[in-house]
Amino acid sequence: MTDAAAAAAPHEPVRIGIVSISDRASSGVYEDKGLPALQDWLTRALHNPISFEARLIPDEQAGISATLVELVDTAGCSLVLTTGGTGPALRDVTPEATLAVAHKEMPGFGEQMRQISLKFVPTAILSRQVAVVRGQALIINLPGQPKAIAETLEGLRAADGSQLVPGIFAAVPYCIDLIGGPYLETRDEVCKAFRPKSAVRQR
In this prediction, residue 159 carries a pLDDT of: 83
In this prediction, residue 130 carries a pLDDT of: 98
How, if at all, do strands 163-166 and 155-157 pair? antiparallel
CB–CB of 194/185 below 8 Å? Answer: no
| Parts of the chain with a pLDDT under 70 | 1-9, 203
In this prediction, residue 4 carries a pLDDT of: 45
In this prediction, residue 7 carries a pLDDT of: 52
CATH code linked to domain 13-199: 3.40.980.10
In this prediction, residue 9 carries a pLDDT of: 67
In this prediction, residue 8 carries a pLDDT of: 54
**CA 157 to each of CA 18, 36, 40, 160, 189: distance values in angstroms, whole numbers, following the listed order:** 25, 23, 19, 8, 11
In this prediction, residue 2 carries a pLDDT of: 45
The domain segmentation of the chain, as residue ranges, is 13-199
Distance of alpha carbon 190 from the chain centroid: 14
In this prediction, residue 68 carries a pLDDT of: 98
pTM for the model: 0.93
